[in-house]
Amino acid sequence: MNRIDNLFSRLRSEKRRALMPFVTAGDPELSTTAMLINELVHRGAHLIEVGIPYSDPIADGPVIAASYHRALERGVKVAHIFQTLRTLRAEGTERFNDTPMVSMVSYAIIHRLGPERYLNDAATAGLDGLIVPDLPVEESHALMEKATRRNLKLIQLITPTTPRERALQIAQSTTGFVYYVSVAGITGERKSLPSELTEAVGWLRTQTDLPICIGFGISGPDQVRQLAPVADGLIIGSAIVRRLAEAINRPRSEVVREIGQFIGELVKVLENAGT
């Protein structure tokens, strides 16, 4: 069974939810990315989302877009990222190797490398799925079939502006979990989230048995408490990337430890949020 399926099956049986940090691969360099992923798993993160830098990011706000730009300027390539992940899996503890990892990747990158090559390399690197934000659901079937043959999940996005008929089509074409975008627009930290979000996710839950994980705009304990009752997982991105960028001149190990503490605190909030 895929590690994503294992994770959500276990958490559902325990009435718990997943905290899913996002990291930009290669920002500020891949050695720090490796340190950070290890630290996040050690602090209790349930799934790691790895951003593959792209020159024209889709739906990413200024914080993550800038991190992609920095990584590309330093010459980070997809092959380097996969080798880093491959090494992490080879050297990882049992807990680490039970933790799913997925890539957030533009279809332009998959197309350039070739879907077969990208998926083969992703599978051998120890990834468990991929999120492709610029792949329309109408064009996703072939990639999903190829991914499934390699025991990889193709995770697709539903947004607040997605018509319900189309949301159903996306949910039926998704494997692993549904990525529900909390707000219309781009990624980034927000002080508050839309009040109608709970209702929208509640409706979607009546339409699919897949876990529903919410991302975009989640930056701290208040949003975690707000969304925990309706989500199977919460994705934290810009809040992590910003902390790393702001501490660029500080010792890497110190910054990684602080980000780990931040995620560890959110894990505890999520565990205590109730149903």
Which domain, by its residues, includes 67?
Answer: 3-267
pLDDT of residue 42: 97
**Of 231, 197, 200, 191, nearest in space to 214 by CA:** 231
pLDDT of residue 223: 84
- In the set 60, 121, 128, 232, the catalytic residue is 60
Phi, psi of 192 (to 5 degrees): -145, 160
49 is an active site residue: yes
* pLDDT single digits (tens) 98-122: 999 999 999 999 999 999 999 999 9
pLDDT of residue 220: 87
Largest CA distance in the chain: 50
Within-domain flag for 275: no
- Show the CA angle centred on residue 247, arms to residues 245 and 253, nearest 5°: 110
60 is an active site residue: yes
Within-domain flag for 273: no
* pLDDT single digits (tens) 202-243: 899 999 999 999 987 788 898 898 888 889 999 998 899 999
Position of tokens 């910003």? 242
- Show the CA angle centred on residue 157, arms to residues 152 and 162, nearest 5°: 150
Within-domain flag for 274: no
The sign of the CA dihedral 144, 150, 151, 155 is negative
Q: Which helix (H) or strand (E) holds 44?
A: none
Q: What is the dihedral of CA 43, 46, 48, 49, to 10 degrees?
A: -130
Q: Which two tokens stand for residue 253?
A: 């190990």
Residue 28, preceding bond cis, omega within 30 degrees?
yes
Q: What is the dihedral of CA 232, 238, 241, 243, to 10 degrees?
A: -100
Position of tokens 């043959």? 149
Q: Domain holding 95: CATH number?
A: 3.20.20.70
Distance (Å, whole) CA 216 – CA 59: 10
Within-domain flag for 114: yes
Rounded (10°) angle between helices 197-205 and 164-172: 50
Domain count, the chain: 1
Q: Which two tokens stand for residue 220?
A: 């701290």
- In the set 27, 49, 128, 232, the catalytic residue is 49
Determine contact, residues 166/137, Cβ cutoff 8 Å: yes
**Which residues of the chain have a pLDDT value below 70?**
57-61, 183-195, 274-275
The sign of the CA dihedral 32, 33, 39, 43 is positive
Within-domain flag for 251: yes
